[in-house]
Amino acid sequence: MVRIHDTLLGRDVELEPRVPGRVSIYVCGPTVYEVPHVGHGRTALVYDVIRRYLEWRGFAVAYVSNVTNVDDRIIARAAAEGATEQEISARYEATYWAELERLGVRRPDDVPHATEFIEPMVDLIAQLVASGHAYVIEGEGVYFAVDSYGGYGELSHRRLGDLLDSAGSRVDVDERKRSPVDFALWKAAKPGEPDWDSPWGRGRPGWHIECSAMSLELLGEGFDIHGGGDDLVFPHHENERAQAEAAGHEFARHWIHSGMVMIGGEKMSKSLGNFTTLGEAIDAHGDRAFRLAVLQVHYRSQMELGDTELRAAAEAVGRLDALVRRTVAAGIAVTGVPVADDVADRFRAAMDDDFGTPGGVGVVFDTVRRANSAIDAGDEPGAARLVATVVELAGALGLEVGAGETVAERDAEIDAMVAERDAARATKDFAAADRLRDELTARGITLEDTPRGTVWHR
RNA sequence: GGUGGCGUAGCCGAGUGGCUCAGGCAAGGGUCUGCAAAACCCUCGACGUGGGUUCGAUUCCCACCGCCACCUCCA
């Protein structure tokens, strides 16, 4: 059984899906007004792995993640560049998905955009107005009356009184609101901004309402898991929940939140300007190093994710590929070999405990060592089994082992040089052999001499 | 101030009331190799501080110190 840490309850609970065997997940995606940074990459990867693991575990997963494409910052960016909001959001959304694809993050089953769901949002707001949970301020918009919903604060573990005390201390409050903590469901149109028709005049939706409406629309009442970065717990998710439940809907059964990426001990964020773009990080260290670095830290913890961490992870990825090279060089066939059950059990135990990827990764690398030992010992069946297990379990985490060019790429010219060197070695002409190896090294080729011949990789 | 969380060996980072041992990176020594590479073995070193509970605590409890996040937009 899979246990997950539920933010609402503040403890681990068994995942008992609404429909046995099927898990529905909604994860808050980015607002696309800038290129993604490594923090966005981590969050997307964390949920990608949760999705993959649940599937590996036998669940049918419905995975939805939205993109916010109407928002103050998009409008501001469009104005600054003399472009339309659609141009800005389309541009940065394209970058977002392109980078995630490089990371091997699978596309969600559905990617709703705020602008495509105006009608469900308006309907939801209308329900709230009709039931007295929301009110109109002329010329300003529609607001949610926080007082009217008794569960407010439960998700983020805040008392309404404390919220009222701190409201206004950091941000100006519109005194026409009934309570300083009330928030906008619908914002009245302003000149030059995108707007839509509504019973309250033209305008655009508030931020929180889009996720309430879209998650319910696509996944239905009482969907299983709602996730996102932990900076969204308050106010975003608190508000989403309040709106949906106040309107009479059964909202998410479980809430999960992932930790932030830190840089030099501070949260990485666009507003602080202390970010590395995701693309730069992948360029510098590779997609698998990025994935492994993320998996080596529990998803709920804050983590540093800079060059130091990525370099270390890249070295570790090299061990995975080296294992496959050694296996191939030793002539050990792995396809179709069943996994070692005891290892899979350890892996499952770690992962079932709130997606304990660091433990799972530990099991994988422990198995890498054992597999190498088995190869050294000439235990071919044992090695085959352990290597098959490594490939399988790493695959469950979305980590391809021995992928692509590192293993079996053919290159006639390099093969010829390697053959020439082998011939030189056979006649003990080591000067010539070393000269050839130096040439290859200069071209980024590393040679490994094995009992069954020389293999090379980049 | 409120809420949530964290402090583990040179670094990153799991985990557990006692059992030989997370794992990754780095460092030193060794085996293998013509030399390398890769691999394996060994070594190095830990649980913020002070109390308490206990036969025994890094693990439970209390206090303290330090750090981070959220309380405004934010993955």
Across chain A, what does the average pLDDT equal?
92
Which of the nucleotides lies closest to A375 (Cα–C1')?
B39
Q: Which residue is nearest to nucleotide B33 (CA to C1')?
A: A449
**How many Å does it take to go from CA A418 to C1' B67?**
54
pLDDT at A66: 96
Average the pLDDT over A317-334 and give the result: 92
pLDDT at A171: 56
Q: In this model, does residue A281 exceed pLDDT 80?
A: yes
Q: Which domain holds residue A447?
A: 409-457
Domain boundary among A242, A258, A274: A258
Cis peptide before A235 (omega within 30 of 0): yes
Categorize the per-residue pLDDT at A410 as very low, low, confident or very high, splitting at 50, 70 and 90.
Answer: low
* HEC-encoded secondary structure of A239-280: HHHHHHHHCCCCCCCEEEEECCEEECCEECCCCCCCCCEHHH
Q: Are A130 and A71 contained in the same domain?
A: yes
CATH number at residue A347: 1.20.120.640
Asked if residue A238 lies in contact with residue A153, where contact means CB atoms within 8 angstroms, the answer is yes
Which residues share a beta bridge with A228? A257
Q: Are A161 and A100 contained in the same domain?
A: yes
Measured between alpha carbons, how far is A82 from A290 in angstroms, rounded to an integer? Answer: 35
**Contact, A286 CB vs strand B, < 7 Å:** no
Q: Which of residues 347-406 of A touch strand B (CB under 7 A)?
A: 350, 353, 356, 358-359, 361-362, 365-366, 368-369, 372-373, 375-376
pLDDT at A413: 85
Q: Are A152 and A72 contained in the same domain?
A: yes
Residue A54 lies in a domain: yes
Measure the N-to-C terminal CA separation of chain A; round to a whole number of Å: 42
Which of the nucleotides lies closest to A372 (Cα–C1')?
B39
Residue A112 lies in a domain: yes
Query: For A432-446, how does the pLDDT look when each residue is reduced to its tens digit (9 = 90+)?
Result: 999 999 999 888 888
Q: Are A321 and A358 contained in the same domain?
A: yes
Q: In this model, does residue A358 exceed pLDDT 80?
A: yes
pLDDT at A264: 86
The number of distinct structural domains making up chain A is: 3
Q: Which amino acid is it at A344?
A: A
Query: For A14-39, how does the pLDDT look when each residue is reduced to its tens digit (9 = 90+)?
Result: 999 999 999 999 999 999 999 999 99
**Contact, A420 CB vs strand B, < 7 Å:** no
Instruction: Tell me the CA distances in angstroms from A168 to A145, A147, A154, A177, one per residue in order.
Output: 17, 17, 21, 12
Q: Are A346 and A224 contained in the same domain?
A: no
Structure-token pair, residue A268: 């990485």
Q: Are A375 and A433 contained in the same domain?
A: no
**How many Å does it take to go from CA A457 to C1' B64?**
55
ipTM: 0.95
**How many Å does it take to go from CA A204 to C1' B51?**
59
Q: Are A180 and A38 contained in the same domain?
A: yes
**How many Å does it take to go from CA A249 to C1' B1?**
35
Q: In this model, does residue A170 exceed pLDDT 70?
A: no
Asked if residue A262 lies in contact with residue A303, where contact means CB atoms within 8 angstroms, the answer is yes
Average the pLDDT over A347-363 and give the result: 95
**Contact, A298 CB vs strand B, < 7 Å:** yes
Structure-token pair, residue A139: 């010329």
Which of the nucleotides lies closest to A170 (Cα–C1')?
B72
Residue A234 lies in a domain: yes
**Contact, A268 CB vs strand B, < 7 Å:** yes
**How many Å does it take to go from CA A162 to C1' B1?**
9
Phi, psi of A47 (to 5 degrees): -75, -30
Q: In this model, does residue A405 exceed pLDDT 50?
A: no
pLDDT at A177: 87
Q: Are A105 and A219 contained in the same domain?
A: yes
Beta-carbon contacts of residue A306 (< 8 Å; ≥ 6 apart)? A263, A276
Residue A274 lies in a domain: no
Average the pLDDT over A259-288 and give the result: 92
Query: For A86-126, how does the pLDDT look when each residue is reduced to its tens digit (9 = 90+)?
Result: 999 999 999 999 999 999 999 999 999 999 999 999 999 99
pLDDT at A453: 84
**Contact, A296 CB vs strand B, < 7 Å:** yes
Query: For A184-220, how does the pLDDT look when each residue is reduced to its tens digit (9 = 90+)?
Result: 999 999 988 999 999 999 999 999 999 999 999 999 9
Q: Among A8, A70, A67, which residue's Cα sits nearest to residue A205?
A: A70
Within 13 Å and on the Cβ side, how many CA atoms surround A287? 15
Q: Are A190 and A329 contained in the same domain?
A: no
Measured between alpha carbons, how far is A224 from A25 in angstroms, rounded to an integer? Answer: 6
Q: Which residue is nearest to nucleotide B24 (CA to C1')?
A: A316
Query: For A56-66, how does the pLDDT look when each residue is reduced to its tens digit (9 = 90+)?
Result: 999 999 999 99
